[in-house]
Amino acid sequence: KGAFCSRPISDTLAHYLEIRECIPQALRQTGHPRGALALATVSVERALRMYSTGIYVKPEDRRQSRFSRKHWGVTTEEVMISVMKTTSRGWKKIIKAAIPYIRTRK
């Protein structure tokens, strides 16, 4: 499928694409949704790590489970480097992969 086109990432990015449609066109940011893609990717990685044993293991310290810069900043920066290298062709694939998940939740 390509980088950033897995089902979990596409489904998560679709939330952003869906919400973006509620913003008046004149106020929308132009260009590719780089930040949204990076956060979608890292949030999927976080969720997968939380269930890496097959069951959710609650951290002893609640603060360790937070989605914060302290815990996920470096990972987010690393993902953003890859996102910034994504070509126009890559973006077309990413958006195409996310479209089927828009408005599929109740």
CA 67 centroid distance within chain: 13
Instruction: Give the tokens for residue 77.
Output: 């920066």
The answer to the question of residue 106 being in a domain is: no
Range of 55's domain?
Answer: 7-101
The answer to the question of residue 22 being in a domain is: yes
The answer to the question of residue 1 being in a domain is: no
Is the separation of the CB atoms in 41 and 4 below 8 Å? Answer: yes
What are the b/e assignments for 49-62, b being 16+ CB within 10 Å? eeeeeeeeeeeeee
Is the separation of the CB atoms in 19 and 104 below 8 Å? Answer: no
Check residue 29 and give its pLDDT.
Answer: 86
Domain count, the chain: 1
The answer to the question of residue 17 being in a domain is: yes
The answer to the question of residue 2 being in a domain is: no
pLDDT tens figures, 31-87: 999 999 999 999 999 999 888 889 987 777 777 778 889 989 999 999 999 999 999
Is the separation of the CB atoms in 4 and 38 below 8 Å? Answer: no
